[in-house]
Structures are given as structure tokens and as C-alpha cells.
Structure 1
């Protein structure tokens, strides 16, 4: 880990600190599931992942309420939370991120570069050149940055010589409500493992809204946390690494639904800039869930909208608290007349 990595001290008690490393966080909310005080908040994962809001996925509600027990750090699959004592990070095998075997490459590697090309986190670097000993082969190095690896297994799956070993953090179950999903692609853009995508359909074939790649999924739950209409359910069914006192962590995580994403944003609008085109109203997944006709483009035939509507040719927010913080409205607006800002967590 680099020395200049950004961090936040969430809480301090005597000689212990709970430290948050935002660059390593994937917004999965696993720590929120495990916190015995319910003192951590995750939300706005979609709009943050899309670069539309400058904020962190995670924050602490009341630092004074935190008992610095470290359970959140123990269950974090990426090491984005650390428990430190007298300034030193505690990193024994009671922490999932430390108990997991690091993704590694052995001497069978031919440095073809497929793993580098496919890694969703960009944490593999391959250097290669043609051998100068007269043989027809590539020589070089394959380096894996284990600090940013999320253990998705893509690299091992594409390796033609089985030179890469990966251990996943969780086994689990992923389901999606076909009638609820609005194909807003928030989950696709949030997924740290590139485990979700839109399947291309052949002529006459029914198109799935979102398709799941089970072999790439790490069952972290970030997709479910970010879904603005709660169409996705992710359950962890096992902790895979040999973690010390695994039973305690399993009681906190297994078969538990992802935490409720707190509304950490507000919609703001510029009525003077608004063109009244209604694109934001139509694309909003919360609006679309309420009315299929609206999602199909029948903007002016619907009297009531759930979240956004156009009145007198200008955008209007109907119910701020219904927002799923996905940012689809801001992305489609041609004149930047609608955007999201951070608000304080209560």
C-alpha cells in the first residue's frame, strides 16, 4: 500500500483507531451488516461510482457511539477498514481480507497478457519481450497488485496455462426481480467484479434485463445496495477463507439481506436552464417502476409521477425521499439542469 493513500479516522478509543481507506472500498455494505451498533452508513453508491458525486461510499453516523470492536474491519473483503492499535494495523487471520490467500501467479505463466486485459480493477501489469536465447517464447513478469485485487477470478479463468490462483471471499446467491428491474445499469457500473452485463439477444430471442456471471461474482452485495428500485437480492451463504473465529462472523453475515442504502443525496435543479424535454422524467428508474407507460415514453399522458415531473415546461422534484441516488437523470440531461448533492446522514 502506498504511503500517501487517503484515509479517514472513523473513531478512536484509548489506543485503538478505526480507519477507513476509501480507495479500497467497493460500496458493498458488508461492514454495515456486521456493525453491532448500526453506526455505519452506506448509500449513493451508484451516483458516486458514476463520478457524479464527490463523496465516499461509507461514513460513520456518530463516531462517539463506535466501540472500536473491529467487527466491521474483520468482515470487509477488501481491507477498506482497518483496526489500528498504537498506530499499527491489526492484520491477523481473524480478518477476511487477511485470511484470503493473495491472488498469485506461478512459473507456468507465459506472460500472454490476457489477465491484464480482463482484470476489472486494472491491478495486473504484464511486461514481456521476445526471448533472446533463440527459443520461440515470451519472457517477462506478471505483477498483481494485491492491494486492489477483489478476488473475482477473471484472471484465473482466462489464463491459458492455469498459472493463476484465486481465493474468493464469499459464496452466495444472487437473484433479481424481473418485473422490478428497470435496466438502469447502475448495478453493472457499480459491480467491482464485472459480474453483471446486458446479454445480446438473437433475433426473436427474449432479452434478459441484466445477466449475472456467477463465476465472477464475489457476492459482496454492492449491486443490491446501489439498485434504486431494490430489484436485486444478494445473500452470502459461506465465508470461504479459513478465518479465525469464523462462526462469529457467519452469524453476522450469512443469509442476511444487504443493508438498506441510506439516502445521502438531494436532487437540485436549475429551472432557468431546464429545456422541459422530460428525458430525466422518463429515464428515472423510480418513475419507470411506477408506470410502464412512462418508461415507454408517454411523458405527457401520465398525470402523476413518483419522483420527477415536468410542470410548465420545467423540471420539478415530486418526492425527494423516493430518490435511489443512481444519477440517471443527471447523466441524460443535455443542459446540466439536474444534479445530486451530498446531504448529512441522520
Structure 2
């Protein structure tokens, strides 16, 4: 936990372990002091940082709107050390995911939960019947209300309320299949279809029933191929109208460049793998990954110069870390830089 801002006896507290990098708070902040970025690199474990940070804490008025719209409760408003969260906060107004007495403790929900929020203990009944007995425990502090557990439950024993209704679109021509959105999605709502021989499938596919329309995928996409719009706040909550004006039909916030690419020329093999897989490079020139690596003089972001990796334009980086993932000798990586 860290204190983002403090005014008199009020504090805005950030809980990184509950944050999913969706940027909903950034959308709603009336002062524009919150920054989200490098979501892909952080989610992939390539950068030791939090999804969210505050740019200008002195300009924050500790109004709490960011905490009210956060779907996971990663931001909290406190006064004299006591939480101010009430039914005007989405995370509080949402009904907790619950399991009723119909549960047969089969464990499907535990297996499928993308956040590991469910624990099932079971044993064979000793009353002579052919059934399992045990407990199904749902960590409501961890749950993001994606609905996977309810979808797979064979006896409809689980109830889930989602935070948002929305619309998810992706530009097939812009998408470079870097898989950043797949790695970032907290609800396992984005995936790659397995194609049969000769079958043509989408580059990236979407599961609407699992999506919570948080927008983390759109924030993380290094080429802005994904658009997520919230169309409704679903929980019955106090003062919903003002929050809907802040969020509905608003595009995901622009990701701030919070990283800097560094390279090790001594370690670099000059193989060009990073240059080819870089989604910004691929979007800039479609021929790059088709065998023209050394025939092209200009690259958008990464190039190979004199047999070594070269960063052409740091400002074009999407902070996804795809280059670092593919490098066989760890000759390129991202480091955190201070936000401006």
C-alpha cells in the first residue's frame, strides 16, 4: 500500500496488488494527475513497477472519484485513517461473488479462475452416499467478477455481478499479434484460436462473456489496435449518474511512456529477432517480417546497425516488452523512467 496524495486529514491510498492496469481511474480523474503505462511489460514480469502512479501529487484534490470508479478496489479514500468506501463505489456496490448450498465441490471453478481466487477442499462422504463433501471458498478481495466460475459450474451454484457492460473492437489490419493483450487481460477474455490446416482465423479472438470491459488490453496495446468502451455501470449504486458521465463511451486512456529501452551491444548477436517482432516496426512496414530485415534502411523503433541492435526512436516504444521476450541473450530490456 502507498499513499498517493494527502490533503488535511484525507488520504488517497493505492493497493498495487489489487490493480489490473485498466486505467479506469485515469479516465475519471478530473485533474489528470494519474498515469498508467508499461502495462504489458509489468504484466509479463519484465519491469518491476506498479501499473499506476501519480504524476503531480500536489495537484490532486483527493476527491476520491478515481477510487469510486475502480472495479477492483485498488484505490481507497481514507479520512483520519478510516476507510470512506460506501455504496457510491463500484467495488463496494458490486455484489460479492458467492456460492450456494447446491455446490458439489467438483473443483471446476478453482481450475478455471484466471486469478486463482477460489479454493476447493473436498473428500468422499462418510454417510454411505456417493457424493463429495467439503468447502468452496471464494476470495472476494481477489475476485474481478469475470464470471468464469459461474459459467463452468455444473449446478449453477455461483452468482457473479460484473462491473461494466461494454463494447470491444479490434482493427485486424493494425493488430500485429504481439500477444500483449492476451498476457495483460485479467479475465482471460482474449486468446488465440488454434487453426486447423488450411483454416484462416482471427489474429486475436475475444470472449465477450468473460470480459469485464476494464480496458487494460487497450491501454497495453503498443499499436492502438484495440478499442474498449464502457456502455453501462451494472451494479446498483449511489450517485451512478455522475460516474457514468465520466466513463461511458470514453476511449481507454493513452498509455504514458514510462520505460526506456536499454541494450548491451557486447552481448547482442545481431540476429534481428527483436527488430522483426517489434509490433511498432511491423505496423510501420509490413515487409519487415517477410525477409527484408537487412534491405530496409529505416525502421520505426528498432534496427540492426553494424551487426548490433540499435534503438532508432525511444518515443515510439509501446512498453510491451516483446523485444525483450524474444532476445536469446538478454541484450535488450526495459527500465523504468520517471514520468513527467
Give 5+ residue unaligned stretches, structure 1.
1-6
Is the Cα–Cα contact under 8 Å of residues 282 and 297 in structure 1 kept in the other structure? no
Does structure 1 residue 73 correspond to structure 2 residue 88? no
Deviation at 1:202, TM superposition (A): 2.0
CA–CA distance in structure 2, aligned partners of residues 312 and 274 of structure 1: 11
Give the Cα separation in 2 of the matches to 1:42 and 1:67.
19
List aligned pairs for 1:261-280, cutoff 5 A. 261-280=255-274
Aligned to 2:42: 48
Match of 2:92 among 88, 98, 102: 98
| 1:138 alignment partner in structure 2 | 132
Q: Considering only aligned residues, what root-mean-square deviation do their CA atoms show, in Å?
A: 0.6
SS of 2:238's partner is coil
Q: Secondary structure at the match of 1:189?
A: helix
Q: Which runs of 4+ in 1 moved over 2 A?
A: 295-298
1:1-346 maps to which residues of 2 (within 5 A)? 7-346=1-340
Which shifted more, 218-227 or 197-206? 197-206
How far is the alpha carbon of 1:201 from its aligned partner? 1.7
**SS of the counterpart of 1:108?**
coil
Structure 2 portions without partners, runs of 5+: none
Aligned to 1:3: none
Q: Which whole-Å CA distance do the structure 2 matches of 1:207 and 1:298 have between them? A: 25
Aligned length: 340
Residue 311 of structure 1 deviates from its aligned partner by 0.4
Alpha-carbon distance in 1 for matches of 2:256, 2:93: 30
Cα shift readout 1:170-217 (whole Å, capped 9, x = no counterpart):
000000000000000000000000000001122222121000000000
TM-score by length of 2: 0.99
Instruction: Tell me, in whole angstroms, the C-alpha distance in 2 between the residues paired with 1:297 and 1:131.
Output: 63
